[in-house]
Amino acid sequence: MRDSGVAMVGETASNRRAPNGVAAPPPQEGAAEQADKEVMCVPRLRPSPNAEHVPERYDEVEQLEYPAAMYSIMEQYLPSNLLKAPREKKIEILERICAKYRPNGDRTRRHRVYRERIRLTYKPLHEELSALNPEQFFVQSFRNAIDDGSAEAFRKIMKYQSSGLFAFDMFEPRFCSLIMDEVEHFENWAQEAKFKVMRPNTMNNYGAVLDDIGMEEMLDQLMREYITPMSSVLFPNVGGASLDSHHGFVVEYSMDRDLELGFHVDDSEVTLNVCLGKDFGGGQLFFRGVRCEMHVNGEARSDEVLDYSHVPGRAILHAGRHRHGAKEITSGQRTNLILWCRSSEFRELTKYQRDFSSWCGECLTWKKERRRKLSNVKPQPASAV
């Protein structure tokens, strides 16, 4: 399994919490409006160091993955909103950046130690969550569609479908409760044990990585046996047929915690997002079209502006590169299970590619435009000598 990686997130969106947990400047516009203008990737380092910033010292920090001096040097390349983040957060971010360049995105030593400590000291509340039990976890209609495996069977269970977005009922209410209870139990344990929980990615201040608390194998099986059959049919152009690793976590929103999630793309080829509960108002997902890395900040076409309202037990499946965010909740508490499904084959094959017109809205527009221009070029009559 690869490292949890980092979601590519809106770095400068002014209307959400900054990744360091410090409140970002007051909102100028709504999340969705801002999203139309800008998506950036975080953590994206500055091209040149910030010479005015005096970096922290890391010498006395235990269990650093790399030499302490490297953290001080790299700190000067962090985007300005992260410079004042707590040192622990900066270490986490810098190590995640570096992990991307290690063979197979190997997990950092800190993360290995973190997981081992949980494994040895945390006693799960619901041991049954460590093994996939389709009858207990999934609703009948979803199991039937997977058993059938045809595009027609998947089409039949869709409750909402729009370009690149597919929503269907998936989890039994009891399974939703078990996951939420387990996460709460873990949070309580961590608080009592004074154990610092690693959050799912740089954008979340709450939530937990399910892979870290004993559900990695179960979620891997879920991806291979229950998501791949669907994504092979629904997302063939973005690696949906060759998913081979995942990052599974829950995100939590409530009036006294995170309210919303900034505009971003996921570090995944295909994302499964299932609402677990509980009662809440607001919190709609907003989508703004699928884009490759080069076009991630481009404008959305009007037909790409889509909102989706979560329903407990219901899943939405989308491409990781489908730009999105979550609007503020207006009441209650919302918890969602997120499974970022990745394909190393797809990443390798597309590494040196430049044309993604089979899935990137803007590459496609450019391609059509080029074709149109070419077809408008009138052949010159050959002149006789």
Ligand X SMILES: O=C(O)CCC(=O)C(=O)O
Q: Is 251 in the site for ligand X (CB under 6 A)?
A: yes
Q: Which of 261, 276, 300, 329 contacts ligand X by CB under 6 A?
A: 261
The rounded distance, in Å, linking the Cα atoms of 78 and 71 is: 10
Angle between helices 87-99 and 109-121 (to 10 degrees): 110
Q: Report the partner that residue 108 touches, choosing among Fe ion, ligand X, none (CB closer than 5 to 8 A by kind).
A: none
User: Residue 264's beta-bridge partner residues?
Assistant: 9, 324
Q: Report the partner that residue 290 touches, choosing among Fe ion, ligand X, none (CB closer than 5 to 8 A by kind).
A: none
Q: Which of 326, 329, 360, 363 contacts ligand X by CB under 6 A?
A: 326
**Residue 42 φ/ψ, nearest 5 degrees:** -120, 145
Helix, strand, coil share (%) of the chain residues, nearest 5? 40, 20, 40
Q: Report the partner that residue 285 touches, choosing among Fe ion, ligand X, none (CB closer than 5 to 8 A by kind).
A: ligand X
Tell the smallest beta-carbon distance from residue 365 to Fe ion (Å): 24
Q: Which H or E run contains 330?
A: strand 329-342
User: Residue 325's beta-bridge partner residues?
Assistant: 286
The rounded distance, in Å, linking the Cα atoms of 310 and 282 is: 9
Closest CA to 264 of 204, 349, 198: 204
Looking at the Cβ atoms of 63 and 331, the one nearer to ligand X is 331
Q: How many residues in the shown chain lie near Fe ion by CB under 5 A?
A: 1
Residue type, 172: E
User: Dihedral of CA 106/3/210/289: which sign?
Assistant: negative
The rounded distance, in Å, linking the Cα atoms of 184 and 123 is: 13
Q: Is 266 in the site for Fe ion (CB under 5 A)?
A: yes
Q: Which of 20, 335, 336, 343 contacts ligand X by CB under 6 A?
A: 336
Q: Is 118 in the site for ligand X (CB under 6 A)?
A: no
Q: Report the partner that residue 273 touches, choosing among Fe ion, ligand X, none (CB closer than 5 to 8 A by kind).
A: ligand X
Looking at the Cβ atoms of 77 and 291, the one nearer to ligand X is 291
**Residue 140 φ/ψ, nearest 5 degrees:** -55, -45
Looking at the Cβ atoms of 258 and 266, the one nearer to Fe ion is 266
C-beta of residue 136 within 8 angstroms of C-beta of residue 284: no
Q: How many residues in the shown chain lie near ligand X by CB under 6 A?
A: 10
The interface region with Fe ion, picked from 162-170, 248-256, 261-269, 354-362 by CB under 5 A, is: 261-269
Looking at the Cβ atoms of 55 and 164, the one nearer to ligand X is 164
Looking at the Cβ atoms of 171 and 249, the one nearer to Fe ion is 249
Q: Which of 4, 12, 20, 273 contacts ligand X by CB under 6 A?
A: 273
Q: Which positions from 279 through 308 interact with ligand X, judged by CB under 6 A? A: 285
Token pair recorded at residue 85: 């983040």
Give the binding site for ligand X (CB under 6 A).
7, 251, 261, 266, 273, 285, 324, 326, 336, 338
* Interface with Fe ion (CB under 5 A): 266
